[in-house]
Chains A and B, each alone.
Chain A
């Protein structure tokens, strides 16, 4: 399979000091939906802006449809569609005029412009509001219009930066539907960024976990989940009994099927192989130390757990307060002994 997007040893340093992207390499095959998954500030937008020729890389190369973004940016622009994280629609134009403008910027032949605009409007369900000024649209409608504008010229590679950021559940699901349609019906190559796990899990053939400008893992979501090496058992102890708890944790750590142990807030999360079979021996250990367990929960790993595994951090909307961060680091240290 031909690679539609190829990024090799890409680095971006802003104003000579902020290293936003650090030696990143990945490739996206033709027709593939690929996700960059990471928290705010991870460098996702920077990568997209380099691929869409809006930023020059500090070093490394990036190619779209085989064309180098630095050598022939105009050639790259002919191939791509770009929907930024900013809701870049013009409020002072109607929905139709926004699309008409985009169609002309991409030099669609005159005779098909009307047909294409009407087609994408229908796809995103905005045909009835097409002649209203966008300033009368809701946030979700704007996002759908922006997405429609990105699809209008049927680009070979579509870049979606946080396509469902801040949208309500219903709109988010609609947008997921359109993105799935692009893959199954239009065979478009899609590179999307997100900090929502479900999104990467639902839409992406493969996802890269990115943190502070570095890629920590790349694989199909299912394979990433396997890679963390087991299921997750979450235990919360009754308050008090610090000593007994420490003893219990030490004992648990020594069990052969426990691959790791971590504290998350007030809970302890065990990474466990063959969890169904392991639970009885776990109970036995807990009983022996006499510690009181308030809650115990077994689950299959999600991408959120994978994220935590590869970055040592929770993926969250907001960053933690400094206090929380220090506290959690101290906890982890205590447990690892």
Chain B
């Protein structure tokens, strides 16, 4: 059982670091909020409330956007987590952990868990602010919990991918372009911000294979339509598999290349 204890302490460290700098949490929440409020309002005005309702069954665009923005938060937190490995390597902390009698796999696992929990904290804050702005979640508080869990799982997957890159890439300057190169297409070819109905056919095709879409869809069902399990399940299961596959990849890469 020391394996779980070791993961816990890797996780504990990441969380301590997270809470040591509260301003970072504020900025991490602020950016998605700007997207939500500005883009949400602009799109509502542009497409008109009724059209948005037709296309997405949402009362207004803000309600439609909130789940998407939550997944976007998960995307950015997850992408960012590779940095912590690069930083640990640079300051020698990685070697310090590797010289300790803890299993190798506990290090990436603890980091993935911390990225997910951090993104979930940010999502709860965003959901609270969205509620204050008048957004209602049709499936109620429990539905919101499940939404946060789905986005958290998605964050695990993205974090594992980011950390896998960080195993090979030794500098932040090297990692950031790759992460940007991945995040933007993932975001804009998903249905996080624009309803798939708005997209041209080729983009709908890409969107259908984008893992982000599979996280957004069940969350949006929970937010707008309520507990329709038959629509929630496929996305939930897919996201679970996505996270598991990415974590498996990470533990393999880590085991192979970090002695």
Q: Residues of A at under 8 Å CB distance from B? A: 49, 52-56, 74, 77-78, 80, 82, 84-93, 97, 101-102, 104-107, 133, 149
Contact = CB atoms under 8 A, between A and B. Distances in A.
Interface in B89-132: 91-93, 95-102
Nearest to B103: A74
Given A105-B9, A105-B100, A86 B92 contact: yes
A133 B259 contact: no
B117 to A, nearest CB: 17
B20 A77 contact: no
A4 B93 CA distance: 26
8 contacts: A53-B98, A80-B99, A84-B92, A86-B92, A87-B91, A87-B92, A97-B13, A107-B101
Contact of A82 (B17, B99, B102, B259): B99
B2 A53 contact: no
- Dominant secondary structure at the B interface: helix
Given A86-B92, A87-B92, A104-B5, A97 B16 contact: yes
B93 A88 contact: yes
A101 B91 contact: no
B228 to A, nearest CB: 43
Nearest to B106: A105
Interface in B1-57: 2, 5-6, 9, 12-13, 16-17, 20-21
Contact of A106 (B21, B91, B93, B100): B100
Given A88-B91, A93-B17, A106 B12 contact: no
- Dominant secondary structure at the A interface: loop
Interface of B: 2, 5-6, 9, 12-13, 16-17, 20-21, 91-93, 95-102, 259
A56 to B, nearest CB: 6
A191 B178 CA distance: 41
A54 B13 contact: no
B99 A52 contact: yes
Nearest to A55: B259
Contacts of A90: 13, 17, 91, 93
A129 to B, nearest CB: 16
A93 B20 contact: yes
A105 B102 contact: yes
Contacts of B91: 86-88, 90-91
A86 B99 CA distance: 14
Contacts of A89: 93
Highest count of chain B CB atoms <10 Å: which of A74, A106, A107, A133 = A107
